[in-house]
Each structure stands twice: as C-alpha cells, then as structure tokens.
Structure 1
Amino acid sequence: MPNFICKNTQSSLRVFIVIIGTIIGSLSAGLSAVHAADIAEAERHYFAGQYEAAELIAAAEVERGVWNERWPRLLIQCQLTTGKYAEALETYNAAIERFPTSLTLRMQGLEVLRQNNQLDLAADSNARILQLLQAAPTRFASHDNIIATGRYFAERGNDARQILKLFYDRVRDADPTFIEVYIATAELALQKSDFKVAAETLQQAQRVGTSDPRVAYLLARAWEPSDSEKAAEAISVALEQNPNHIPSLLFIAEHAIDREQYDLAESTVQEVLAINRYQQEALALLAVLAHLRGKYDIESLMRASALRTWKRNPQVDHLIGRKLSQKYRFEEGANYQRRALEFDPNYSPARFQLAQDLLRLGHDDDGWEMAHQVAEEDEYNVVAHNLITLHDRLKNFRIMEAGDIHVRMDPHEAEIYGDSVLELLTEAQAVLCKKYDIEPTAPIVVEIFPEQKDFAIRTFGLPGGSGYLGVCFGRVITANSPASQGPRPSNWQSVLWHEFCHVVTLEKTKNRMPRWLSEGISVYEERQRDPSWGESMTPQYRAMLMDKNLTPVSQLSAAFLSPPSPIHLQFAYFESSLVIEFLVERHGQDALKQILSDLGDGLMINDALVRSVGSMDRLDSEFADYARQRAEAFAPEVDWSKEGLPETGSVDELQAWAEQHQDNYWALRGIAEACIVSEQYEQARTPLERLRDLGAVTAERGGPLEMLARVYRELGQSEEEHTTLEKIVELSSDALPALRRLMEMAAEQENWTQVANYAQQVLSINPLMPTGHEQMAMAAEYLDRPADTVRSLRALGSMVPVDPAAVDYRLARAFAAMDQTDRAKHHVLRAIEEAPRYRDAYRLLLQLTEKPSQPANSQPANSQPANSQPANHDELPAADPVKESL
C-alpha cells in the first residue's frame, strides 16, 4: 500500500491535527451519549423498515421538546428515506438551532439541503463545518461527532489512512460495541475499493451483534467482486432484517440488470419508489433499463426525474454510466461520466470510471493520463494504484502492428511468437469481418500478459479472474499468455480467434448484445476454424443437455452471470454455441447477421430473435428438442444410467454390476480407473477399448482416451498407442502430453515430417516451450528447411539454452544454407566466443571465409544435422589458416 499524504491545504492540515488532538483527549475523558430505551425502540422500527412507525414516535418526541438530538436526527432520517424532503428541511432548520454543536446533525443537514436543491446553502454549510471545527473542536467530542468529523474529511478528500487511524480506530478502541464506527470504516474502504479491509471490518461488526441491515448490505458489497455466493447470502440477511432496506433493494436491482433480468430489475426498483418516489438511484436505474431497451426518450425522462430534487447530483450520471459500461456500452458510459464531471469536476468516482472507459475504448493517452491524476489525488484508491503500477510495466512492452491491428507483448514473448500472433489476428480479421459484413472503424488493440495478475488488473482493476483466458471490450482485447497458465495451457490461437470474433460481433451490434449470444458465436466460430477448438461434447455435457431443466435460450445470459459451479459456466459456453449452430442450420447465416444488425439498431434480443426466427416460446421448445437430439447422437448405444451404480465398490463389484448393465459408461470407466490405479493395465484395456468402440470418448483430460494411451504404452503396444494419441490430438486443441509423446515416437522413427507437424501443434498451444522449438529445428534441419530452422533456433536461443554455442553454430549453418554469409559468420563467431575450442565452428568459419558467396553448409542437406550429437567444444582446430582468417 502506498504512503498516503493529505491533499488539502496546509491550513486544513493544521486544523486536522488540532481537532485530532483535542478529540483524543475528550475520548479519554469518557464522554458518551445517553441511551434511552425509547429511542432504541424507535431505531429498531427504523432498522426493520417500519419507517412510518419510527417517524411517528420521533415526531412526537420532537414535538414534545425532548432534549436529545437523536430524536430530530432519527426523524430527519425517516423523512429522507421516504422522500419527504421538504419536511426534512423544516425539521433540520429547527433542530440545528437547538443543537448547534451536533456535527452529526450538520452532516445530515448537507443531504437535506442538497435534496431540496438548496445547493448554495449546502456549500456554505459545508464550509461552516470547517470553521466550527477550527473555532471550537472540543464541542464536537462525542463518538457520533467524531465519526461525523471523519466522514466530513473523507468527503473533502483528505488522507483516508489518517482518517482511519486518527478518527475511526480511536473510537473503536474506546468503544468496540459502537456499530457506527464499523459502518463508517467499511464505507470508506469500499469507496477506495479496499474490499478486504471492508469485509474484515464488517465481520468484526457482526461479532458485536446488530440488527442494523447496513452491516449485512455493506458486507455484500465487500464480497461482491470475489465471492458472489457470500454476497448473495449477505444481501439476503439484510433484507430479512429490513425488507424495505433501499440500498439492498437497489443492490438486487443492479444484479438483475447484470443478469439481463430486466423485468425483475424494474419490479425491484418499483419497490424502492413505493417507499420514496424521488429516490435518485432508483430513477437512474430506470434510465439504464430504458437505454438497454432502446427507449431513449424514456431514458432522458428518467434521468431528469432523478435530478428533480438535487439537480446537480453527479452520482446520478455516474451510476447510469457505470451500469452502461458494465454492459460494454463504453462510449455511452463515458458520455455519462463526462456529464457527472460537469456537475462536479472533482467527483473522483466519475473521473476514474471515465479513465477506465477510455482505456477500454482504446483511447490510451487520455485514459492513462486521467488514471494517473486519480491515483495522485487519491493514493488510497486500490484499483487506481494497481492500474498505475501496471502502466509502468506496460511501458516496456513491445508494440507490433499489422494494418489496424496493434499488439502489445512482453519483449521476450514478442521475439518468440509475436509474428505468429499478428499472422493469426490478420487471418481472423480477413475471415470474420467478411463473414459478418463488418469493418472495425478504429484500430484494434491486443495486449498479452505473461503474468495472470497483470491481466486481471488491466481487465478488472484487481487481482483475480483466474478463470479467464481473454476478455474483449470491443476494440481492446486482453489475454493471458501461455506463460501464465501452468503446465497445460489453453491453445493461445483458439483464445485469440475467440476474442477477435467478439471484436467483430460487438462492432456489428455497437456493443448491444447479450453475453450468451456473444460467447455462443465466438465458440461456434472457434469450431468453424478448427474442429478441435472450442467447447465440445462430453459425458457430463450430454447429461446436462438431456436434463429437463436445460436453460432456455431466453434465459441463457443468467447462466453466465450466476452459474452454480465452474462446470455449469463452461456448459453455458457450450450450450450457447449449440444455439448458434441451431440458428444457422435452421435459418441460415443471413438470419444470424440480421439478428446482430437489429441489436445494433437498438432492438432487445428477444425482439430481434422473434423478427428473424419466430416466437421465443417456439425457439425455446425447438432448441430443447435439438439439444436432446445432439445428446442422444453421442454414443447412442451406450447405457448412460447411474441408477444403482456402486459408488465405492471394488473392481469385482463393478464388474458384477456391469454384467447386469452391459455397455454402461460409468461402470466401464470405473473398472478401467480402478485397474490403472492398481497397475493392472491388461485388465484396464478391455473396458477402455469397449468405450472407444462405442464412440463414448472425448478429448477430456484424464478421460478414457488418455487412459487408453497410457495402457498401450505400459503394454508396449506402440502402434495402438500412436493411433490413440492421434485421436486425442484430433479432438483436443491443447493435448500437450499427447503431442509430446507423438513427437518423441516420430523422432525415434526418424519421421521428420511428422516431427515438424507435431512440433507446430505444440507451439500453437505453448510457443514458450523449448521442446517444441528444439524438435521443430531438428526436423527442419533434416528436411532442409533453413528458414524454419532459423525461426525455431532464434526462439530457442532467447530461452537461455543449455548449450548456447551449439544453437549459434546451427544458426550459422542455416544462414549459410540460405546464402546469408554475413549472418552465418556472425553466429559462428558467437559460437566460438562462447566455446573457444569448438572445432566444428572453426571449420564452418573457414568454409564461410573461403567461399562467402556459396551456401556454405558443412554437411549435405540430407545428412545428420549438427544437433544430433553433443557438440565437440574441446578439440583445438587443426589448421592454422583458420587462425589467419580470424
């Protein structure tokens, strides 16, 4: 965490210090508020959402003239909550005359004045608070007022760390049961995106015990970025405590918008408006819904309604823009942030959201400049700090261009496979733009990160997102490189093809498309490019397709946003791609393109589908039939039932059960797995071969095919092993173990064409694997392909090879074969510099010197290449002319 400093003037800082010293002294004197049973009862009504009951009790006590400022504060809070802003102003004006030393009341009054459009008066009152603190800080020494003081300085943009340390922590130490201090601390942490501190603080509050729904609500917000289940549980608790808790209802509405459950979102917003018809966030969300539905006149009306009571509230436009950006409408979102900044140029949330929007639109110069400004002015903003730290690393990335495709990569990785990235993206642009009749109107930026945390920070602002391989924002793609994915990375080519397809479809729809459609098309186009790419059928997917609860097409986006498990999320990709196959097969590619065009024109997805393919009910029904047919076509002769299957039985029990349930997939697989564990490979072979013959095999990791390949290898059945490995590679885009074994077998048989083919497939999965480049170089040398030899050896040389002299020597031979004598001399001299007693290198140098214009190759093209035996670095050269030539 950075070392934070106060951003206000020196005079404010002096006041700040004086106040802290005085208040700390007051705390030690043991000042505390008087807690009456009746005020506690009234507050319980409020916390339970019984606002009218709480208001009646508070109003009666205020009218009676009870000398306790908590009564008018509670009455004002009830009036603000229910939208009685004029009444709240009247209550406040009377109360502040009676309780002028209540800083808590004055802070509450700022909200009252703003909601009554008395903005000049609110500004004067804000300035008056600082004057009062400076003149008589000891008058504001209660716990409530200390918290209010911290909130005041937080609103002014003072150092968050100092506010925590000198205000909130002091109050908590003095009274660990004071709930308001936990809430204030959590609110400040959430403002700065420090979700960990917020969650820890609120968990402490829960241990104290409270019926205040704000604790559970704020905890839901703290868990939201990292654990959706815990967030849902927390918001459920908040609404159990208070079914009318407006922030929690708005939380539900926002998440319904995220899931494209727009009817649920609207009904939840209406619940809020039934409590407070002027509630600004609720009206702002109605503007969001109107925009997403293409009802732009209503959008403008809802925005105007939201600004009716506080006409320059920057939070309204910030909220609308933030939600639109979450729907990938970054251009529209950025425009709303600009509106918010017109109301308040210092409103940090809008400035930072605008910075992120600009970065996702590819406007890097403006985006990074604004992000730096936010980070400098608010050093406690965790997301801004992360982004700026990342930006420093990005400055070292190499930028490569091919037309309007701009790729940014780590220099080391760019050297190895940067050209291949450009080639693939250029092909994707040519194929997919033509297919969908679209041409991007601005450069496409692709950033590939060797570290997963950098990818996550660039993409999400925070570390995490480990399940993501790539993300497309429209014309900006971020992706994890194979280096960040462990020993079995996904095929980087399929990932980039998938993401570039998003560029095309988002461009065609102006970023107005549901996630299921976007992901479905991308996975579908992966398989069109290469049948082994993208999601494919598995036994588990088969069962899910057959399930009567299969997600209907009309609800597919929710399957991405709230999946019960990781496998359900992966299945959502697969099911969505089947929907695209179904649409293209039944209605043609033109119908799919028309759907995308209609979305770009502002139609909702269901309306676009109805226009092109018919009613949604019929589409849901017909696709369910199509999905079942696809499932039934997968290994149709197999018994897929699990009923009665022994869960923890021995091999004998499984075999006995299998005799009564012949060709049962789970029994045959279970028998094979148990036999392999006990190294009974011959016994494992029979059930695995039966599964293969029944067609019940896929490319799943650790599945029957991989088990069968292992069995054949253990049994020494090389031909059968080879055939099985080939099948795995045919079905899988990332079968690295199978490819490595195939390379090894092909090299043993000196089938260099196969070695080259397998090596190329290895490099399409992980171009950073030395084995792939070594095998490709060896095959290229035997096949007399010097250009391929150079490409692989250069990559190998950048990976800190065990024998760099041998790599340079082989490069010299390859360049010599290409008549590039100067380059050949350069590398042979590097080899000699590395290994001064390298006899073969001296001989090659002699040949290059004597015949500079000839393709000097010390061995015939079809002879054994130099790398087939360890290089002899220890023998001295036999001929003096070599020395003379040096």
Structure 2
Amino acid sequence: MRYLLLALALSLTSHAATWQECRGLEKHGKDATACYTQLTHTSDPALRAEGFWGLENYQQANAEFRDAVASPSSGAAVRVRWGLLFHERFNNPEAVNLFNEALAKDPNYAPAFYGLALVSADGFDGRAPQYIAKALTLDPKSAESRELAADMAFENSDFDTAIKEADQAIALAPDALDAMAIHAAIELLNDRSPDAWLAKITAINPKYGEGYARIGYHMVQNRRYTDGVSYYRKAVEVQPRLWPAHAQLGINLMRLGQQDEPEKELQLAYDNGYRDAATVNSLRLLDSYKNFQTFTDDTTILKLNKKEAELLQPYFSAELHRAMAAYEKKYQMKLKGPVQLEVYPDHEDFAVRTMGMPGLGALGVTFGQVVAMDSPSGRKPGEFHWASTLRHELSHVYVLSATNHRVLLPVAELDRGFIYPQYPAQVIVSYFQGGSICDYIGERWGEGKLLEIVHAYAKLTPTPEVIQTTLGISAEQFDKDYMAWLDKQLGEVVKNFDPWRKQLTELAQHAKSKDYAFVLANGEKVKALYPQYIGDANAYQMIADAQLAGGNKQAATKVLVEYEKMGGHEPATLKQLATLEEEAGDKAAAAATLDRLNYVYPTGDEELHRRLGTLFLDLKKDDGAVREYNAVVSLHPLDVAGAQYNLAKAYMAKGDRAKAEEAVLAALEAAPGYRPAQTLLLQLHNGGAPAQPKTN
C-alpha cells in the first residue's frame, strides 16, 4: 500500500522523491518511470545520476556521477553508488576503485565493503566472505548485506547459515525478496515445494523476475541445469525486460547442448544493451560452431574442429565408447540420452563454457550429459592426458545421472575449497582430497560402497548418516581413519620434501654437466624421496640418460617403464622408451607405448603415427595400422605419395581391396612415377598376387 500511495503522490503532486523510493517502487512492481524522471530534473548531480540509471540511460548516469564526485564535498556514499553502477554494467575493476575511494573517505563505510563483497563474489574470490563479514560488523541492520551473506553461504553449501542470514534480512526488511528466493531455492534443493516462498514473493511483486533468476542461478551452481533453465524461463516470463536472465537462459541452454534457442536469447540480451563478457563470448562461440564437424551415433555426439576432426575422431570416439561401457558396468546403469562431447583447440573457447562456474577443472567441464574439454592441440605437448580428462568428466556425467543431479560433496571443507578458495591452487587440493577419499573408501571397503554412497546422496541423506549406514562407522571416526591412511600414504613424501628438492637440484646440476657417475650414484636415492614426481627435470629421466651414456639400455628401459607407470607421459620420453623397446626386439611393447602416447598428444606428430603404423603392420594388427596411417594422411604430410602408399598397404593387409585401391590411386595422383605404388596397383589388379615379370 505504501508504494501504491507513493506512485499516486508522484503522479498528482510535486512530492520530492528519493532514489530509495524510486527503487522501492520498482521492487514492488510499480511503474517507477515518473519517479526516476523527476530525479533527472533535480539540481543534485548524484540524484540526477540515480534517475538516469533507473531509466536505463547508463551513459548519462555515468556522466552525472562523475560531476557529483568532482564536487569537493562529495563523500563515500556517491562513490559507492557509482561503483555499483559500474558493477551492474560489467566493469568490476572501476567498481573496485570507487569502493576503495569511498573507504579512503570513510574507512568504516559499510556499503563500500558490501560493494567489494559483491564484486569478489562475482569471481568466487576468497576475500568475499571477509568483506561481507566486515560490512555486517559495521552495519548489522543492512538487509541487503544479509541477503548477500545468505547468497554466499548458499553457494558454500552452508544451508544453515544461508537460512539464518535470509531470515535476518526478512526481519529487517519484510520485502527482502532475494532472501525469500534463497529460501525457495533451498527448498527445491531439498526436494521440497518452494511454493510458500514463491507466494510471498508474488504477493509483494508478481513481476519480480529477479527472484526466479536467483533460484535458477543456485540450481545451476548445484549442477541442476535443467531446473536452472526452467527458472530462468520463469524469470523472463514474468519480467520480459530482465536481460541478464535472458543471457543466462541462453548460456545454460548452451550447456545442455542446444544451439538455436541459446543464440536467440543471447542475441536478445545483447541487442538490448546487456553485453557482459559471458554474453559476448558465448555469442562468439556460437558463431564459431560453423567451424566444427559433428559425428553422431546412438549414444554419442562428438563435436570436433574441422581442422583436426579427421585426425582426432577415431581416438576420441573409441575412448568415449570405451569409457561409457566401463561406467555402465561400474554404476550399473545406462544413460537416458546421448553424451555430447565438445573438443576445443582454442582454450579461450573452452574457457567460455566454464565462465561463471566455480571450482571447475582447467581442462574439462561437465554440464549434465554435455562434456566440454580442451583439445590436446590447445596445450603444450604432454601437458595433459586428454583421455584421463575425458574419463574424469564422464564420471561426473554418470554420478550426476545416478543421483538425479542431487550429488553432494562429502566434506564441507572440500566444497568451500571449490567455491571460495582461501589460497592459490586450493581447487586442485580439493580435487585431490576428494579423489583420495574415494581411493580410501575403495581400498578399505570395496568399490561397491562408493556406489552405495552415490545412491544415498540421491536420496539427500546427510553425510554423517551416509557414512554411518554405508561404512558402519561415525563421520568423526571416518575423518580420523582417513587422515591416518593419508599420512601413511604421503607422510614420508611430505617429510622428505625439502631434502628432496635440494637433492634434485643438485642432481640436475650434475646431469647438466654430464657427471653421470654422480647421477647413477645418487639418482635412485633422490627418486625414492618423492617417487610420484614426474614433472620437468625428474630423476627418472636423469637416471635413464646416465644409463644410456654408459651403454646400459636395459637399465634405462627399466627406469623409463617405472616413470610411465608412475603417470609420466612426456611425449619425447615415451618415444625414447618405445625406441629402446623396439631395439630390444620387443615390437609389441614399443607399439603399446606409442599407442598410449596417442591418448596424450596425437596432434601434429607424423613420426608417431608413421612409426606406430609400421609396428602395427609388422604385428599384423591391421586395424591399428589403418588408423595410424590414416592419421598421417590427415596431417597433410609433405610426402603425400608415401603416406597414401602406406595406407594402401594397411588396407591391403586388412583385406579391404577397394580402400587399398583408393589409397594407391591417391598416391599415384600425388606422384605418378612412384614405383612402389605402381607395383601395389598391379598387385591389386592381379587379384592380390605379386606382378609377374614379362618373358620373351
């Protein structure tokens, strides 16, 4: 009623409005145009700025704020408001500058800390909780700060704190609509009806799309993408001009593997001035899809860049199907639809897919049954094992499906490491901790218990109860036992880390000066201090080089095999191992080593595929030979005739005469006088028998 009377007063009288009243009208679903227009005619540039901001004339609002701040009497408040405008219009660096300027004017100005918390939360910066805590210490009665604190606690999966802060916001401001939306989202995540809270929002403002958008945001953050899309749809339905919701609807439809509707929604947001980085980059990514080739079958959709599709398709398709078969057996289920795998040679395109999502891996990401990842060509050779990344992301697909997207992280601290990391690389530490917990459970209780835990989380069973019922011990005892196990696994490595680092440096210096006697005398000791280290300048490679310098190829082979078993996959090192194995007469081992390299870095390496093709041909593994020689051809080698001839030989060995003839003709087209190809063509025309010399 208050805002209805205010709207009436503004239309009939000369009531002098404040910007807070204008915002209040808008929040309650009333037309605030007259209110904002009135502000634009005042003598105060700060109020004029608020008026133009409300009328969506952002450039003029910016100009008015600049004039307001130029006044010697301007204080912290106008700087914070200007900063919030910059934040709303996608310029967080300028917003931070203004919030800091406000604090220079008044070090205890709570709204400035609120602004810093808002910007930090945007980037999942670990300082965000500190900023909002400071804001609430200075002004505990700020409903806006309470709502932000509730939002951040929700992101951290701290539902109790989120509810507490949301309730305090509502107690301070009965129209705290975002706090109500947080309540509704928590109900949804717990498979309870949100209707009571949605009714409260609707009673205050039936056109409050921001509430539905906030629910959609939290559904997405909890990997419930389909639910997120549904609530973003509701947001734009009740508030059609809510351009951020249109953009997020488009982005999340993209995450579900769609293309046409996302482009429509994103373009609509862009055309109406909503041009944040995620919107702009997503439109560019959609435009780049014309450069991709799609391969489909009954269970998979594989999207590869055209420039490398011919090379990568056999490897990615085979690994995708192999991994799916393994997970179907492990999780005792089949997916309801196809898995879509997108492989990006440009890391920046992949990064667009992860924008606005905390704690996601730097190499791959999963959205429901859509997996996006870097192509091996987008990284330095050997920088990552693409097949391992694919399998890791695909495991998320199955776990999310098995739990109906209700999977929870078992340890709260791990979740916080993913969302608001407190130190560099905490996300990596959280991934390691999560993985090691699974290793511990599998080792002590068996892999079957992990499946039981997944099913328990699908029922939203609390973690302590899950541990008690599936593992038979209390959560406290589990923590104690796990830490003891982890200490046993890594305690010696941690204790020896400083001596290892010092001794490895010394070993590297002697290796560089070719003091191989020192390397052989000390290398094994250094390696034993930290056997898991397989990065640059590792002891394995130094010992192998020293053994080779002394002519001991067998010992060098042994240490390089250890290196690979420990997870080492540097391409040059594995090629060296394959050479040693082949020289020792073990072609099967050499082929296996080179084949494993295909799952690390198959791109741009003619030598790898040519060598492996020859080995496979010698070993009568004809399908493998065809695959490898096809890979050579796809790389457009200088020796086209030789590449096509080798491919023809592989097809011939396989018994595919039609393909063999096709390849040999391609060889002769490239080099008409190429004698080996001429001979093979004659052999093909003679029914496979070698051509007979003519006699007089």
Give yes or no for contact 1:743–1:754 (8 Å, CA) kept in 2.
yes
Match of 2:200 in 1: 305
Give yes or no for contact 1:488–1:734 (8 Å, CA) kept in 2.
yes
Q: 1:404 to 1:723 in 2, by over 3 A?
A: same
Q: Are 1:143 and 2:45 counterparts?
A: yes
Q: 1:205 to 1:853 in 2, by over 3 A?
A: farther
Q: Are 1:126 and 2:33 counterparts?
A: yes
Instruction: Give the gaps of 5 or more residues in structure 2.
Output: none
Matches for 1:129-278 after TM superposition, within 5 Å = 139-154=41-56, 160=58, 162-163=59-60, 167-168=64-65, 182-199=79-96, 202=99, 212-226=109-123, 228-232=125-129, 234-235=131-132, 237-239=134-136, 241-278=138-175
Give yes or no for contact 2:36–2:50 (8 Å, CA) kept in 1.
no
Match of 2:627 in 1: 791
Match of 2:458 in 1: 600
Match of 2:487 in 1: 631
Mapped partners of 1:211, 1:566: distance in 2: 29
State the shift of 1:759 in Å: 1.3
Q: 1:555 to 1:396 in 2, by over 3 A?
A: same
Give yes or no for contact 1:402–1:422 (8 Å, CA) kept in 2.
no
Match of 1:852 in 2: 685
Give yes or no for contact 1:811–1:824 (8 Å, CA) kept in 2.
yes
Q: 1:671 to 1:409 in 2, by over 3 A?
A: same
Q: Are 1:723 and 2:558 counterparts?
A: yes
Give yes or no for contact 1:816–1:856 (8 Å, CA) kept in 2.
no
Code of the residue aligned with 1:448 in structure 2: it is V
State the shift of 1:405 in Å: 1.5
State the shift of 1:398 in Å: 1.2
State the shift of 1:765 in Å: 0.9
State the shift of 1:385 in Å: 1.6
Matches for 1:431-470 after TM superposition, within 5 Å = 431-460=326-355, 468-470=362-364
Give yes or no for contact 1:321–1:332 (8 Å, CA) kept in 2.
yes
Give yes or no for contact 1:284–1:303 (8 Å, CA) kept in 2.
yes
Normalization by structure 2: what TM-score?
0.87
Question: What secondary structure, in the 3-state scheme, does the structure 2 residue paired with 1:624 have?
Answer: helix
Q: 1:677 to 1:787 in 2, by over 3 A?
A: closer
Q: Are 1:513 and 2:349 counterparts?
A: no
State the shift of 1:669 in Å: 4.6
Match of 1:697 in 2: 531
Deviations 1:744-794 (A, max 9, x none): 334555643333212101111112141321321232344455543332222
Code of the residue aligned with 2:346 in structure 1: it is E
Code of the residue aligned with 1:855 in structure 2: it is G
Give yes or no for contact 2:369–2:397 (8 Å, CA) kept in 1.
yes
Matches for 1:542-553 after TM superposition, within 5 Å = 553=411
Q: Are 1:577 and 2:435 counterparts?
A: yes
Mapped partners of 2:319, 2:355: distance in 1: 26
Give yes or no for contact 1:676–1:684 (8 Å, CA) kept in 2.
yes
Mapped partners of 2:124, 2:463: distance in 1: 29
Q: Are 1:620 and 2:620 counterparts?
A: no
Identity of aligned residues (%): 21
Q: Are 1:108 and 2:2 counterparts?
A: no
Match of 1:489 in 2: 383
State the shift of 1:698 in Å: 1.9
Mapped partners of 2:691, 2:222: distance in 1: 62
State the shift of 1:318 in Å: 1.6
Give yes or no for contact 1:193–1:383 (8 Å, CA) kept in 2.
no
State the shift of 1:725 in Å: 0.5
Give yes or no for contact 1:337–1:350 (8 Å, CA) kept in 2.
yes
Code of the residue aligned with 1:513 in structure 2: it is V
Question: What secondary structure, in the 3-state scheme, does the structure 1 residue paired with 2:291 have?
Answer: coil
Code of the residue aligned with 1:151 in structure 2: it is W
Question: What secondary structure, in the 3-state scheme, does the structure 1 residue paired with 2:335 have?
Answer: coil
Q: 1:201 to 1:706 in 2, by over 3 A?
A: farther
Give yes or no for contact 1:813–1:856 (8 Å, CA) kept in 2.
no
* Paired residues, number: 692
State the shift of 1:848 in Å: 1.4
Give yes or no for contact 2:311–2:631 (8 Å, CA) kept in 1.
yes
Q: 1:363 to 1:670 in 2, by over 3 A?
A: closer
Match of 2:616 in 1: 780
Give yes or no for contact 1:640–1:665 (8 Å, CA) kept in 2.
no
Deviations 1:479-516 (A, max 9, x none): 111112223232111111111111111011111112x3
| From 388, 405, 418, the counterpart of 1:560 | 418
Question: What secondary structure, in the 3-state scheme, does the structure 1 residue paired with 2:599 have?
Answer: helix
Q: 1:785 to 1:685 in 2, by over 3 A?
A: same
State the shift of 1:809 in Å: 3.3
Mapped partners of 1:432, 1:239: distance in 2: 47
Deviations 1:540-561 (A, max 9, x none): xxxxxxxxxxxxx454322333
Q: 1:470 to 1:828 in 2, by over 3 A?
A: same
Mapped partners of 2:107, 2:533: distance in 1: 53
Give yes or no for contact 1:284–1:319 (8 Å, CA) kept in 2.
yes
Mapped partners of 1:489, 1:794: distance in 2: 25
Give yes or no for contact 1:321–1:337 (8 Å, CA) kept in 2.
yes
Question: What secondary structure, in the 3-state scheme, does the structure 2 residue paired with 1:407 have?
Answer: strand
Question: What secondary structure, in the 3-state scheme, does the structure 2 residue paired with 1:312 have?
Answer: coil
Q: Specify the structure having the higher radius of gyration (Cα).
A: 1
Mapped partners of 2:443, 2:557: distance in 1: 36
Q: 1:609 to 1:338 in 2, by over 3 A?
A: farther
Code of the residue aligned with 1:557 in structure 2: it is D
Question: What secondary structure, in the 3-state scheme, does the structure 1 residue paired with 2:284 have?
Answer: helix
Mapped partners of 1:852, 1:359: distance in 2: 52
Give yes or no for contact 2:664–2:681 (8 Å, CA) kept in 1.
no
Q: 1:784 to 1:588 in 2, by over 3 A?
A: closer
State the shift of 1:742 in Å: 1.0
Mapped partners of 1:277, 1:713: distance in 2: 78
Q: 1:834 to 1:168 in 2, by over 3 A?
A: farther
State the shift of 1:179 in Å: 5.5
Match of 2:212 in 1: 317
Give yes or no for contact 1:578–1:627 (8 Å, CA) kept in 2.
no
Match of 2:601 in 1: 766
Q: 1:630 to 1:237 in 2, by over 3 A?
A: closer
Question: What secondary structure, in the 3-state scheme, does the structure 2 residue paired with 1:478 have?
Answer: strand
State the shift of 1:236 in Å: 5.0
Q: Which moved more, 1:757-766 or 1:810-819?
A: 810-819
Mapped partners of 1:812, 1:594: distance in 2: 51
Mapped partners of 1:499, 1:405: distance in 2: 14
Mapped partners of 1:568, 1:383: distance in 2: 24
Deviations 1:141-162 (A, max 9, x none): 53023202321231xxx6x5x4
| From 644, 651, 656, the counterpart of 1:808 | 644
Matches for 1:675-694 after TM superposition, within 5 Å = 675-676=510-511, 679-691=514-526
Match of 1:409 in 2: 304
Mapped partners of 1:589, 1:777: distance in 2: 38
Matches for 1:276-355 after TM superposition, within 5 Å = 276-294=173-191, 296-297=192-193, 299-355=194-250
Q: Which moved more, 1:325-334 or 1:817-826?
A: 817-826
Mapped partners of 1:563, 1:682: distance in 2: 46
Q: Which moved more, 1:165-174 or 1:748-757?
A: 165-174
Q: Which moved more, 1:445-454 or 1:804-813?
A: 804-813
